[in-house]
Amino acid sequence: MLRVIILSAPVLLLFSYINAQNFSGNYSAYNPSNGIKVLISFNQESMDLVTGKLILNGTDIYKIQGKVEKDYGDYILKGSILKDNDRSFFEALLENNQLYFTWVPANQNNQPDYNSAIDVVLTKEGQSNGNNNMNNEYSINQDNTNSSGDDNYYRDPALVGLWSYSESYTSGDFSMATEKYMEVRYDGTYSYGNGRVIGGGDSGTFDSGTDGNDVLTGRWRTENSIIYIDEGYGNWVPYASYYVEGDKLLIKFNNGEKELWYRQ
């Protein structure tokens, strides 16, 4: 049976805490197949003010301004990309010398259009890239980009974060509620599991607690609004179709069942 990984509260405490990042520096990526080179420079004056430039092929220059926000233990740089009267958005995550940069166009309401987002993995200049054969290469085509840098799969950045889902069941005097948690990460991994089961009736009540049992892990990617997962066997299988709107995630399975998840 296809499953996605869910975390209980104690398991979440085991995730490593990432210290506040200083994004200052120059980053670059180059794709020899289409000759496109991306340069990004950041100057971080404070957590609330990061300025810089994004340069395509040495001539197409955009201004960048954003601030660093803490997002489920990670420090994410979020802000705007400006050129003339055009505005788009971006999110960036820095891990070691790798910058995971998501360029998000604006929709007709000048809000981020995550369905059209482009992911680029850049390397900080002056430091070696630990991944052989990558050498700052990327594809400007979103169907071949990713947010992890370890493969050529696209991953919708709108799915990244910590999500929760709850459902209830009632029969006669008995009722039961189940909570689930799912963490979807920038690096292409996820965790999924039951957080808590609470039930009761005239004969008594029970509470499973949050002991972190049955937590599953694996890899994820997206294509044509479908989530694919690899549970560790080296095979990608379709899990469900999805739709994200703000802090809500609607998952629809092949059997017609639906689950509405909420961002935490």
In the prediction, which pLDDT does 63 show?
94
Residue at 127 is within a domain: yes
- Average pLDDT for residues 31-58, to the nearest whole number? 85
CA gap 38, 127 in Å, rounded = 17
Same domain, 177 and 252: yes
Same domain, 47 and 115: yes
- Looking at per-residue pLDDT, the higher value among 3 and 61 belongs to 61
In the prediction, which pLDDT does 16 show?
34
CA gap 242, 227 in Å, rounded = 7
In the prediction, which pLDDT does 257 show?
84
Reply yes or no on whether the pLDDT at 10 is more than 50.
no
Residue at 57 is within a domain: yes
Residue at 203 is within a domain: yes
What is the residue-wise DSSP string for the chain? --------HHHHTTSPPPPPP---EEEEEEETTTTEEEEEEEEEEETTEEEEEEEETTTEEEEEEEEEEEETTEEEEEEEEEETTEEEEEEEEEETTEEEEEEE-B-TTSSB-GGG-EEEEEEETTS--SSTTTTT---SSGGG--SSSSSS----GGG-EEEEEEEEEEETTEEEEEEEEEEE-TTSEEEEEEEEEEEEETTEEEE-----TT-EEEEEEEETTEEEEE-SSS--EEEEEEEEETTEEEEE-TTS-EEEEEE-
Residue at 76 is within a domain: yes
pTM: 0.45
Query: Torsions phi, psi of 157, nearest 5?
Result: -65, -20
In the prediction, which pLDDT does 170 show?
66
CA gap 177, 170 in Å, rounded = 9
State how far the alpha carbon of 151 is from the alpha carbons of 7, 63, 131, 257, in Å: 25, 29, 11, 31
In the prediction, which pLDDT does 143 show?
37
Domain count of the chain?
2
Which of these three, 158, 175, 192, is where a domain ends? 158
In the prediction, which pLDDT does 202 show?
54
Give the rounded percent of residues in the chain with a pLDDT score beyond 70.
Answer: 69
CA gap 37, 138 in Å, rounded = 9
Give the rounded percent of residues in the chain with a pLDDT score beyond 90.
Answer: 19
Pick from 8-12, 186-190, 220-224: least confident:
8-12
Of 194, 169, 190, residue with least CA distance to 181: 194
CATH classification at residue 252: 2.40.128
Same domain, 150 and 208: no
Same domain, 176 and 97: no
Question: Which residues share a beta bridge with 245?
Answer: 248
Which of these three, 128, 158, 188, is where a domain ends? 158
Same domain, 58 and 140: yes
Query: Which residues lie below 8 Å from residue 229, measured CB to CB, with a gap of 6+?
Result: 2, 4, 190, 218, 219, 220, 236, 237, 239
pLDDT digits (tens, 9 = 90+) for 53-93: 999 888 889 999 999 988 766 788 999 999 988 999 999 98
Reply yes or no on whether the pLDDT at 8 is more than 60.
no
Which of these three, 158, 182, 201, is where a domain ends? 158
Q: What sign for the dihedral angle of Cα 127, 133, 135, 136?
A: negative
Domain containing 67: what range? 25-158
Same domain, 111 and 226: no
pLDDT band, residue 29 (cuts 50/70/90): confident
* Average pLDDT, rounded, for the chain: 75
Of 3, 170, 140, 124, residue with least CA distance to 60: 140
Same domain, 72 and 115: yes
pLDDT digits (tens, 9 = 90+) for 99-111: 889 888 998 888 8
Same domain, 97 and 30: yes
Same domain, 80 and 121: yes
Residue at 3 is within a domain: no
In the prediction, which pLDDT does 169 show?
63
Same domain, 35 and 134: yes
Residue at 2 is within a domain: no
Reply yes or no on whether the pLDDT at 139 is more than 60.
no
Q: Alpha carbon 189 to chain centroid distance?
A: 9
In the prediction, which pLDDT does 9 show?
39
Same domain, 80 and 188: no
CATH classification at residue 86: 2.40.160
Same domain, 29 and 152: yes
